[in-house]
Amino acid sequence: LAKTTQPISMDSYEGQEVNITCSHNNIATNDYITWYQQFPSQGPRFIIQGYKTKVTNEVASLFIPADRKSSTLSLPRVSLSDTAVYYCLVALSGYSTLTFGKGTMLLVSP
């Protein structure tokens, strides 16, 4: 499974766009990229998944360059409730064991 590297923490203010970048230099051809969010005392929650280019859903966008060695989770106009840990994961689609890294602690301030 490809190892991921992401910033330990990030700070932002309400209403700003937040971009969290994840590095996965040894991603394999069949690997997919997925992001999870975890609030304190809760289980992780799936945010978004992609293979290449751009994926958008109602809460976030995922940008994946052509070489797929990195990906960026974009959260538009964050609010205080977006304060959480965000995990970037890489795994074979259909092979379901998730390998979590240390995640990025996002702190959103008023």
Partner 1 sequence: GEEVAQTPKHLVRGEGQKAKLYCAPIKGHSYVFWYQQVLKNEFKFLISFQNENVFDETGMPKERFSAKCLPNSPCSLEIQATKLEDSAVYFCASTPSGAGMEQYFGPGTRLTVT
Q: In the complex, which residues of this chain contact partner 1 (CB under 8 A)?
A: 32, 34, 41-46, 49, 85, 89, 91-100, 102-103, 105
At residue 82, what are phi and psi to the nearest 5 degrees?
Answer: -85, -5
Cβ proximity to partner 1, 89 vs 108, nearer residue: 89
Give the tokens for residue 89: 């994961």
For the chain, give the longest Cα–Cα distance: 41
User: Cβ 45 to partner 1, closest distance in Å?
Assistant: 7
User: Cβ 15 to partner 1, closest distance in Å?
Assistant: 27
Cβ proximity to partner 1, 75 vs 87, nearer residue: 87
Cβ proximity to partner 1, 37 vs 70, nearer residue: 37
User: Cβ 65 to partner 1, closest distance in Å?
Assistant: 20
Provide the 3-class DSSP secondary structure of residue 81: helix
State the Rg of the chain over Cα. 13
CA torsion angle 70 76 81 85 (round to 10): 0
